[in-house]
Structure formats: C-alpha cells, structure tokens
Amino acid sequence: MTTGVVDSAAQKPQAAADSSRIGLIVPSSNITMETELPELFRRQSAATGHRYTFHSARATLKSVTKEELLAMVDKAADCAVAVSDADVDVIAYACLVAVMAQGPGAHVGSEEIIREAAAGNGMPAAVTSSAGALVRTLEAIGARNVAMVAPYMKPLTRMVSEYIEGAGFTVVDSTSLEVSDNLAVGCLDPGNLPAIARDLRHSEADAIILSACVQMPSLNAVQAVEDELGLPVITAATATTFEVLQALGHQPAISNAGRLLQGSLVAHAPTR
C-alpha cells in the first residue's frame, strides 16, 4: 500500500507566508467540491489565520459511467498544466471514481501524471487525489473494516468497494443511491445521510465513509453521523482536505467536520 502525498520535485515559495494556493481538477458537472472544500478551509483559516485560495480546471463529465470516467482521465495532464499556471502549492485531483475506474492502486499513476505535467510546465506542486486520499486516510486512522455510502449505480459502487479492498481494507457494507447523472448527485440532500448511515451494518465497521464521491454533498452531516454512531466518519472531501493540509505542512484545526479534521483522530499530520 502506498503512503503519503506525492510531493513536488522542488520547493516553491508561496505567494505570501500567510497564504496558500490550492489547485483543483474537477469534473465539469461538479458543483460540490468547490463549495465543500472552500468552506472547510474557511474554518481552518478562522482557527489559524492562514488564508487559502482555490483555482480550478475542469474536465468534461456529465454521466457517471465507466466510459465517461475513463475519457475524463485522459484530460488530467492538460488540466494539471492549466491549473499549475496559477502557481499553486498543491493540486488535488478531485474525481474519486474516475481514478478508481482504472483499477486498484491507480491513484499512484494518476498522481504521478499530474505531478509530472505541473513540473514540466515549470510550476511543480505537491499532488494528491481524492481516490488516493481516501485509502491513505483510512490507513492513517487505523481503520480496517469500513461501511460506505455511495451515490452511484450498483456496478460502480462495487467497483469502488473493490478498489478500497484492493488497498487492504474490508468493506463490510455499502449503500448505492443509484443516481447516474452527476449533476443530480450534486443536488442530493445531505440531510438524508444520517438515516442512511444508521441503516448500514456499522457495528462491524471501524469507520464510516459517508460519501465515497466528491460530488455527493455530505459536509453538513459528517459531525452528526459521527456523534450518533460513535465511529470516525470521513468523506472523499474531508480525506482530500486532510491530505492537502498534510502537503502544506498544516495541522488540521477545522470545526464541526469530524475528528479527522479537528486534528484529534490522527496524532500528527506529518509535514511534507
């Protein structure tokens, strides 16, 4: 199993000592990652005084099918070049299932492609992906058995489960919400997630993946589900946030988004 964020080949100064630039590569129909991540980092800023700005590149994706997901992967390098033009400190490849559709462990190669594209553009940056962040975060918190909520059709949810299990974990239960249109996924009500999570076989789990998708809104439910079930709760968005903070060498200090981002679930987020 791989560990850690793929680091940039060279260190770059930030635009200002109290500010960091975060690059995102997102599906064209994504309406969630650019709302949940800025909100999480707003809370981090409120606690620490450090500022974060976001700079995005988009790759075409409308329907969450394997064919469209693989077509999106082909655009990753071009998106990395475009977003690196903003001289970002870290790039997050924010489409979990596009990476996972390539097979177990694919995040390693995807992150390397993005890293090389940014470096080749003369703008090296640290790189993470939502797929890699999810499995590495599960390892960081010591979870072996997980229960999962995903918005996908059942075949894609099975593929995500196989990817997670290929990284050395056991998916003890999963729920498929069976929404194929990616824009519709972004309109799902996170208020429904506590009841959905309650119905999982969570007694067998070490952690809950409340949203195995960067497009499915979940931020407003993370703390409530964690408080109710008494288990660590992570999502594609919170795991990505955790690794972005790691890449920047910043200790998590985010409120009301679960213990992972409060900084109390992992003893120390290593400086990269």
Q: Which domains does the chain have, with CATH numbers?
A: 19-132+237-262 (3.40.50.12500), 134-235 (3.40.50.12500)
| Spacing of C-alpha 125 from chain mean position | 17
* pTM of this prediction exceeds 0.85: yes
Tell me if 71 sits within 8 A of 95, measured CB to CB: no
Calpha distance 100→70 (Å, rounded): 10
Has 95 been labeled as part of a binding site? yes
pLDDT band at 9 (very low <50, low <70, confident <90, very high): very low
pLDDT at 4: 54
Q: Is residue 93 part of an annotated ligand binding site? A: no
Q: Distance between CA 213 and CA 218 in Å, rounded?
A: 9
Active site residues: 95, 213
Which of 61, 92, 113, 135 has its CA nearest to residue 247?
92
pLDDT the model gives residue 30: 85
Across the chain, what does the average pLDDT equal? 90
Sheet with 19-27, edge to edge strand ranges: 51-59, 19-27, 90-93, 126-129
Whether residue 28 is predicted with pLDDT greater than 90 in this model: the reply is: no
The sign of the CA dihedral 104, 110, 111, 112 is positive
Q: Name the pLDDT band for 271 (thresholds 50, 70, 90).
A: very low
What distance in Å separates the CA atoms of residue 185 and residue 16, rounded to the nearest whole number? 37
Of 4-13, 84-93, 101-110, the least confident: 4-13
User: Which tens digit of pLDDT belongs to each residue from 199-235?
Assistant: 999 999 999 999 999 999 999 999 999 999 999 999 9
Write the single-letter amino acid at 80: A
Is 30 marked as a binding-site residue? yes
